[in-house]
A and B are shown apart, each in its own frame.
Chain A
Amino acid sequence: MNSIAVYSSKGGVGKTAAAVNLSYACSLKGKKTLLCDMDPQGAAGFYYRVKPKSNFNRKKFLKGNLRSFIRETDYPNLDLLPTHFSFRNLDLALDREGSGELKRIFAGLADDYDYLILDCPPNMTLLSENLIMAADTVVTPVVPSTLSILALAQLVKFFDKIKADRKKLHAFFSMVERRKKMHMDTIMRFGKKKIFLQTLVPYLADVEKMGITRQPVAATRPESPAAEAYDRLWLEIWKSQIRK
């Protein structure tokens, strides 16, 4: 099982949209995929219309018995582990367990899935550290702006601090608006850096509409530019993994 954490310390950068659409793209390739919603806001679960079971909570999650709480989405090969409101305090519990705890918990699913995609909460806490350590690949969306580039630099430092392998970190430009000069300048300036994947995920109404359709874009509009962008992004991530 390969694990991919979709992570950003900033909110509103298209992280959940990426996790939802990447997991769908992955499942379309015939890979058995589990999307883990680690963000207590539960947006990934919302997009897939999956609510947690009433008896699910942080404690059960930490016990590692995830199988009973995984739910099937409406799409073949794609399951979802919903989040729970109590996940907002996961840090406190992880503090006692150490940074390898999540890795151990997810290892129990290794035989069930080809890919584990983690939708991470937007902060830089012990939970983030745990998620980064647990993942084989960390993908971070970057809105092409100065502040986001700074945040990316911070993230790289954070990797060094927690002794995570920098090579597993990949960034991609998200919510790109070609008509904005600053966006295009930032992309021109930083896009060639090794850390960046080449796919640009544009700012598109179709992605925003996911809040209404509650489906991945490729499920409602498979031929749309948004669907194509996530598909390309998935292929790039997949290639970076198999070329390791």
Chain B
Amino acid sequence: MPRLQTSFAFAADTDLTQLLEKVSVIGMIVEQEVLKDKFQYLDTFDWQLYKKGRVCMRRGVDLYTLSYFSGSAVTEGTGPETHAPLGREFVSTPLADDLVPLLGIRALIPCADIERKKRFFHLLNKDEKIILRFCLELNSSFSEGTAQTSGGCIRLYGLRGYEKNFHRLRQLLTEKGLQEGCGEDLLLRQVLAGRKRQPLDYNSKFNIALDDRESISEAARDIFLLLADDMALNIPGIIQDWDSEFLHDFRVALRRSRSLLSSLKKMMPMNECADMLAGLKAIGTASGPVRDLDVYLLEQEAYQALLPESLHQGLKEFFASLAAARDKEFVQLTQALQSPEYEKFMSQWLDFIHNRLCSLTGTGGQQPCRKAAAKLIRKRLEKILHAGEAISGECPDEELHKLRIQCKKLRYLLEFYRSLFPEKAMAACIAQLKKIQDNLGTFNDLSVQQEMLSNYHEHLTPGSKKNMHIAASLGGLITHLQNDQQKVRKKIGKTYSHFATAENRALFHDMLDAPVVRVKRGETK
């Protein structure tokens, strides 16, 4: 028989004495034991667990429980003691199968420390027989150095043969206005209420709901602000070096900002825009080396799989040298991000967005955003089609590079102004664009990787045994990558011609010509 069980959430200011008085109408309340449970909620920065209906709790330094929102455990066991562990640290722990795929390359970051007091009660009838059990859970959270009581929940456990009492109390609590169904998600939201971080407050996918009545410069201001916020949000994670995605997302937000600013530069006086573009570019340059090295370090396992075991030693040494190089670059990056110069530029940038952007863009910037966005998208599409004319099986790599850049710019435009156009049509356009982008992206990655490996190879000083190992491994890798690149290249022509069909072009134009669909801010379509 399924157990009768339910839960009700209550707010921090609920009068529990009054609540218990109400309950005592049903039977005599006898308090049993009180248990204290201390734990920490963890999730990735972009809430990968929460998105999939899971929460992770850590007790002590290394006892992890992965639970469904319902509270029932998916899996539990001991894991790493690291403050913010990465998925790979869970490999060969009991949590590996369930946790590692959810984390991907993101770290599990503590979001709040909780002290949960559980007060267990029995409700007795006149024979002093238990007719119902219930538990009051009270949560106190400690986050960002402050403690706060954050409400809790009352859990009811019915007894077989005494269902009436269960339903009576359930009705009583409902009448009192308590919300039934108190999952771990609700408790987590309660705990984080009023804190800096909230569940699902960050998503690395760009998403903004623009108002089509805004001018293009106002829309751009909103987008810039969101991107600047994304950059700021990622900085603590970069400095703590929790995982490589913080820097990645930071750089994506930065690139998007540059791309958007470039798309508007014709509307602005040259020097104003150039200063900002140069400042953004400088941040990109400063953060580039660490990111480049991160990309290779993330490939370590994939590279290893490409090579026979005899070449693994050299590869290991190669990666050790990359890791050492990254450590050096990382110090410079963190210094740069915490420098007065960075702070100064970011305040200039925010001042530019808030106060100067709209006036600087003049009449061009006053155009309604949807019309202007459609114009920008059309132009960019034309540029792609123009660049695409040069694409053939034998064209120089340079042509593919140009096409890739144009595609990327179009992708950014589509994502910026996504909310102004019909959702379905936009999704179809992005899906088409993504196909060719994936192809070109892989081609480019393979060519950059080969170039880097070849450079490294050339600069190896001969003589040492270690360098000989490395040289052998790199040689093997380069051959593999060359083969892969040839395969990818063969596909590009076909993928591009598919993208450039009249049908596909029509998909874009139909979307841009579609009537306005208005969406309220803060909502998604």
Contact = CB atoms under 8 A, between A and B. Distances in A.
A106 interface: no
Contacts of B159: 71-72
Given A67-B1, A112-B1, A74 B130 contact: yes
A51 interface: yes
Q: Is the interface of B mostly helix, strand, loop or mixed?
A: loop
Contacts of B33: none
B162 interface: yes
Which of A51, A53, A74, A214 counts the most B-chain CB atoms under 10 A from its CB? A74
Contacts of A69: 161
A49 B130 CA distance: 9
Interface string B152-173: 0000000111100000000000
B124 to A, nearest CB: 9
A50 interface: yes
B62 to A, nearest CB: 29
A49 B161 contact: no
Contacts of B122: 74
B129 A49 contact: yes
Nearest to A74: B130
A71 B127 contact: no
Given A67-B1, A112-B1, A50 B160 contact: no
Interface in A106-128: 112
B161 A71 contact: yes
A129 interface: no
Contact of B160 (A48, A49, A79, A214): A79
A53 B1 contact: no
A62 interface: no
A72 B127 contact: no
Interface string B98-142: 000000000000000000000000100001111000000000000
A51 B127 CA distance: 9
A53 B162 CA distance: 9
Which of A70, A72, A74, A79 counts the most B-chain CB atoms under 10 A from its CB? A72
A71 B128 contact: no
Interface string A46-69: 001111010000000000000101
A183 B56 CA distance: 63
B127 A49 contact: yes
Nearest to B129: A49
Interface residues of A, number: 14
Which of B128, B130, B161 counts the most A-chain CB atoms under 10 A from its CB? B161
A88 B65 CA distance: 54
A70 B127 contact: no
A72 B130 CA distance: 9
Nearest to A69: B161
Contacts of B160: 70-72, 79
A112 B128 CA distance: 27
B457 to A, nearest CB: 65
Nearest to A67: B1
B497 to A, nearest CB: 63
A214 B129 CA distance: 10
Interface string A133-157: 0000000000000000000000000
A201 B129 CA distance: 27
B169 to A, nearest CB: 16
Contacts of A53: 161
A74 B129 contact: yes
Interface string B224-237: 00000000000000
Interface in B4-28: none
A212 to B, nearest CB: 12
Contacts of A79: 160-161
Contacts of B128: 49, 214
Interface in A160-175: none
Nearest to A46: B127
Contacts of A50: 129, 161
Contacts of B1: 67, 112
A72 B4 CA distance: 12
B477 to A, nearest CB: 57
Contacts of A214: 127-128
Nearest to A48: B129
Contacts of B161: 50, 53, 69-72, 79
Contacts of B129: 48-50, 74
B471 to A, nearest CB: 64
Nearest to B160: A72
A136 B168 CA distance: 40
Contacts of A49: 127-129
A64 B127 CA distance: 28
B521 to A, nearest CB: 53
A66 to B, nearest CB: 11
6 closest A-B pairs (Cβ-Cβ)? A71-B161, A49-B129, A72-B159, A72-B160, A49-B127, A74-B130
8 contacts: A49-B127, A50-B161, A70-B160, A71-B159, A72-B159, A72-B160, A74-B122, A79-B161
Interface of A: 48-51, 53, 67, 69-72, 74, 79, 112, 214
Interface of B: 1, 122, 127-130, 159-162
Given A67-B1, A69-B161, A79-B160, 13 more contacts: A49-B128, A53-B161, A70-B160, A70-B161, A71-B161, A71-B162, A72-B159, A72-B160, A72-B162, A74-B129, A74-B130, A79-B161, A214-B127
